[in-house]
Structure formats: structure tokens, C-alpha cells
Structure 1
Amino acid sequence: MQATKLPIFFEQVNQRLSAAPNEVRRLFHGRGRQFEGLEQLTCDWVQGQLIVAIFKQVDEPFIEALKQGLVTLSESELWQQKQGQAMVVQYRFAEGAPSEVLLGELDHQPIVEESGLKYQLNIGRNQNFGLFLDMRFGRDWVKDNAKHKNVLNLFAYTCGFSVAAIAGGADQVVNVDMSKGSLAKGRENHKLNGHNINQVKFLGYDIFRSWGKIKKMGRYDLIVIDPPSFQKGSFALTKDYKRILRKLPDLLAEGGEVIACVNSPQVTSQFLIDGMKEEAPELNFIERLDNPPEFDDIDPEASLKVLRFQ
């Protein structure tokens, strides 16, 4: 990356921060390759905290120029207007993704809002802080289309789709994820929003060994599939996604819908469309949901792909 390109970064951050609602937002997405020389840099606004992430080793002049620019931003009228409290640089390329607090005191577990719903994040201790911001429109779609539905949320993580579904009037959501810790955070996210936990199930299972338990709580009117691209020992995208798709006809209610997601730049939308034709031909491709504009990518097929089937 190039320190000479950092004025473009700060111009974009200032523009987007100025326009940002009082919600969590991506302010700069270098990984969309729209800004030459800044491809490994992102910046998120966490309602008072600015989180800058660097994904590839850079030289010292780049780091110093970045820090100086952040100091200048912290002294601006905009920073005061937005009630900025902390600035953090996270070195995602380094082991453990260490964070350096440049300003203020980092709130490691802030409660933020997105589309009127509350989520608790976990910043600075993990690579991911508990809510994938590029999935905002996907959660919005679920919220708008979940009324009176029985929803299955596979690879639920911290249950963002589940929170959106219950907020949208779903009768029940079944969350499945191997990580019981992530599901516990999902339970807290539901509580933050005042939801009836009796409507939500949390299954800390290996999906591939638990189809019987999952099927027992169906049939489902809506199934959301949002797996990691790779999870050591449990999931490899190109090998295992089809194993899920072939189960869908036995799980779906008549007229049921599927939101299938993939966020690997190595595969395109056609990977899911062809996989569904092969494994569950009863289901038809309807549309690809848009990504939020702040996540624009020079190649849309390299970014998040959220596909709807019925």
C-alpha cells in the first residue's frame, strides 16, 4: 500500500462519516479495490469508535502517515459533532490481530444499532467483531419477510439473521452453529432487543451430524445459509456446501424460500445457482440481493453474494 494515497482514504472517511446515521457503518472499504494503493485498508464507525484495519504488512512511513491523519481527524469539528470517543488501529496481518488504541479508551463490548436493532460487539480480541456489516441488506430482507414464518438459521454465528427474523414477526427461529460461545452472544442479542427467547432455539451442533434434530423442528418457511468459506475440520466451501443444498427439499415447507450466502472471492454466484440445480432442482433462483453501497467492489462476483431461491 502507498502512503501517498492516504489523502484519498481520509477524504472518503470524512465524507462517509459526515453522512453516516447514528448506526454502525463501514466508512472505507479498500478491499473492494476501488482505491488503488489502499486495497488492504478498511475503516468502520462503531458509534463513537473508529476502527481502522490493516490486512497486509506495510512500511513504517505508511503507519506514521496513517496515525498522523487520524490525529488530525480527531481534532476536527466533524469528530466533535459525531461525539467521537476512541480510535483504534487493528493489525489484521499479524498473529492474533493485535489492536493499538490511538485515542481515548476502547470499549471492547459496545452495543450498537443497525436498522433499529441492537447488537453487542466484541472489538479488539478477535478478527471479527460479531456482526458482518456487508450483510446489512440481507438482515433487512429477512426482517421484512419473516412474519409468521418458521425460520432455520444455519451457521448462525451471533444470530444476526435470527434477531432480524424475530423483529420481523417470525413465529420461531432455529439457530444452528458449532460455536456455543457465539450462540450465547446471539441469545444476548435477542435479549437486548426485548425478544421472547421462547421463540428462539439455539443448537450448538455440527450441522452435518444433526440433520435429524434440525428436521424435527421443521418444516421451515425460510432457511438462511451463511457459512464460513473455510473452517478447519468442519467446513470447506467447495466440498461441503452441496451437502447442505441437497437437504433443503426435506426441510422446506411448501412455497418455502432459501437465502444462500457465500463470501469467498474464489467462487461466483453461479457456484450456488449450479449447485442448487444439481442438488435441489425443485428450488428456483429468484434474485441476488444487493450489497450495501459502501461495500462496492470492482468485481461484484468477488464480493458477498446473497442469493434467494424458492
Structure 2
Amino acid sequence: MTELSHSLPAMDSAALPLFFAHIATELERNPNEVRRLFHGRGQQWPGLEQLTCDWLQGQLEVNLFKAVDDAFLDALTQGLVALSQSSLWQDKHGYCIFIQHRYVDGAPTHVVVGEQQARPVVEEHGLKFQLDIGRNQNMGIFLDMRLGRQWVQENARHKNVLNLFAYTCGFSVAAIAGGADQVVNIDMAKGALSKGRVNHQLNEHNLNQVKFLGHDIFKSWGKLRKSGPYELIIIDPPSFQKGSFALTKDYQKILRRLPDLLAEQGQVLACVNSPMVSSDFLLEAMQENAPYVVYSHRLDNPPEFADVDSEAALKALVFHYQRKL
């Protein structure tokens, strides 16, 4: 669930013209949806590896993941001001540009242009989501999972869906939009689930089809079984959550429960979002703990999240259950 973290070199202000040229190109062809415009953390832009930029439909969020020198920050700020004065910015109805310093505790934000709207409603693939920006590292939706949510929407019709580590219920919104009969969301963070309820309401979904369980997954298997079996299970955990989840230690505990939860021919979307953990970890763990849950394919990542190392990027793998005869 957390965005990837690479060990990256210092940045170079001489590379910033490439940054501004790229975001102008991407902004011009953007379908007016929330979208990553620049992904330096994919390490394809030398000198800009610790810089990202997201379009929040009127607001431009620039993220710095490591401290930069004054020359870099001044050049970045001046370029952003110039962008705000361009015809492209006017055509896109831009109204705020801000820089978030992700390397500092609390991820403080500096507004460069305009007035920040802290809780905007944005759209992705025709669905609405409310963000919470400027105060936390995570704004309420993980943009690199765009194609994962689209896959769920396209594969959820008439299915009973279990959404583990639901966060703000992006997969749940996609599933109900795709015609799911029911979605069960579970996450320890009750505040995040409350935002998930809002996201469903924004899309005028029938909340009688959606359950929000603010519980520890590892203490709730009995409760989850009662709402099953499930034709689709989504596993998108954090890489690490202090006191509750460590990916390489705890993922297996989830996988070994899958045969008790899945319907015949049920599908699993299992995700790993740590640059230190490869697809092989998940493939081997599934084979060891749920051998009848068979690998099908890996979902593509959005092209705007291109990475020099595909195994350092998000891994979203699809499996299907072939119950032992």
C-alpha cells in the first residue's frame, strides 16, 4: 500500500528543464483524471530520482523525497511559477501548486501558487474519490494501482469480494462499480474505512452491498468465513506496519487461509509493493502455503510509473483457485 522507496542519489538542478518539459507534455494529454505526471523514482531520469509530480485535477502536487540544496529548490519553485502563468495551466483550470517535503516528519507542504484545497474530489476511470492532501504522506489513493482498480472493476460482476487491508476502499469502489454482489472490507484503521464509506457515497453506491470491518485481519478469520465464500479476494498490504504487519513474515499467514475463503475457481489479486521483495517471494509463498491457488498472470503497471527495474515496482499478481478433487 505504501509507495515504493528507493535509495537514491542527490538531485541536479540542471536536469529540471526535462522535468518541466515532461509534465507539460503529460498534462496536455491527460484525460482530466487524477494521475501521476512525473515519476523520478523509477530512476529513468538522472538527477531527478527523488522527485514526483501528481495532477489532482486543478492542483499540482510536487513531492521531494530527500532534502535538496537551495539552488535546486529555487529553480524548481521558479519553474512552477512559470507553469502557473502558461496558457496550458489556464486551459487545464489549474488553481494551486504545492511542494510536499516527504523526507521530513509530518511531510510538511509549501504552497507555491494559489490556495490549496485539502479535500478535493477527483476522478479515475469514471469513479470518484475524496483525497486528503497536504497533511499526510498518503493522500487516500495509490496512483500506481490505477490498472489494478480497473482490473477489479472489469472482473467483479456478480462476485462476492473480500478486500483485505482495504484502506480507503478503492478496490471496493471499483468492485461495486463493476457489478459485484457484495464487498467485505477489512482494515484496522477505522478512520480510513470511514473515508471508504464516503468514497462509495460519492459514487452513489448501495451501502447495503458493502461491509466495513475495522478489525485485525489475523483475529477475524472466523468472521470473514461467515461472509464467504468469495469469488474474488484482494490482498494489498503495507510493506510494514509497526506492531501489526511485516510483509515477509506475515504474508504467508494470509495465503494459507485462502482455501477456506475462496469459492471454486475464485480469483486472488495479490500485491507486493516493496522494492526489496520480488515477485518470486509471492509466487513461492503461494506455492508453499496454498498450492491449489495457481498463478495466472501479472498486471501491467501504469506507463506513467515506468521503472528501470520491474521487480522494484509494484507487483500485482492474479491467481485462481483450483480446488483439489
Which category describes the TM-score, using the shorter chain as reference length?
A: over 0.9
Rounded Cα–Cα distance in structure 1 between residues aligned with 2:89 and 2:35 = 15
Partner SS, residue 298 of structure 1: coil
Determine which structure has greater relative contact order: mean sequence separation of CA pairs < 8 Å that are 6+ residues apart, divided by chain length.
Answer: 2
Rounded Cα–Cα distance in structure 2 between residues aligned with 1:291 and 1:2 = 27
Is 1:185 the equivalent of 2:195? yes
Say how many residue pairs are matched.
310
Q: Which structure 2 residues correspond to residues 13-24 of structure 1 after superposition, within 5 A? A: 13-24=23-34
Among 205, 208, 211, which residue is 2:221 paired with? 211
Among 241, 247, 252, which residue is 2:257 paired with? 247
* Structure 1: gaps (5+ residues): none
Is 1:279 the equivalent of 2:289? yes
For 2:98, the equivalent position in structure 1 comes to: 88
Rounded Cα–Cα distance in structure 2 between residues aligned with 1:281 and 1:22 = 43
For 1:224, the equivalent position in structure 2 comes to: 234
For 1:70, the equivalent position in structure 2 comes to: 80
For 2:63, the equivalent position in structure 1 comes to: 53
1:18 aligned partner, one-letter code: E
After TM superposition, the score normalised by the length of structure 1 is 1.00
For 1:131, the equivalent position in structure 2 comes to: 141
User: How big is the shift at 1:291?
Assistant: 0.5
For 2:49, the equivalent position in structure 1 comes to: 39
User: How big is the shift at 1:57?
Assistant: 1.0
Cα RMSD of the aligned pairs, angstroms, is 0.4
Q: Which runs of 4+ in 1 moved over 6 A?
A: none
Rounded Cα–Cα distance in structure 1 between residues aligned with 2:279 and 2:25 = 31
Partner SS, residue 277 of structure 1: helix
For 2:278, the equivalent position in structure 1 comes to: 268
Among 285, 299, 302, which residue is 1:289 paired with? 299
Rounded Cα–Cα distance in structure 2 between residues aligned with 1:102 and 1:35 = 24
Percentage identity across paired residues of the two chains: 67
Show CA shifts across 1:179-198 (max 9, x none). 00000000000000000000
Show CA shifts across 1:229-260 (max 9, x none). 00000000000001100000000000100000
2:298 aligned partner, one-letter code: R
User: How big is the shift at 1:151?
Assistant: 0.1
Q: Which structure 2 residues correspond to residues 87-166 of structure 1 after superposition, within 5 A? A: 87-166=97-176
Is 1:6 the equivalent of 2:6? no
User: How big is the shift at 1:140?
Assistant: 0.3
After TM superposition, the score normalised by the length of structure 2 is 0.95
For 2:4, the equivalent position in structure 1 comes to: none
User: How big is the shift at 1:86?
Assistant: 0.2
* Structure 2: gaps (5+ residues): 1-10, 321-325
1:106 aligned partner, one-letter code: Q
User: How big is the shift at 1:127?
Assistant: 0.2
2:299 aligned partner, one-letter code: L
User: How big is the shift at 1:22?
Assistant: 1.1
Rounded Cα–Cα distance in structure 2 between residues aligned with 1:95 and 1:165 = 35
Rounded Cα–Cα distance in structure 2 between residues aligned with 1:81 and 1:2 = 30
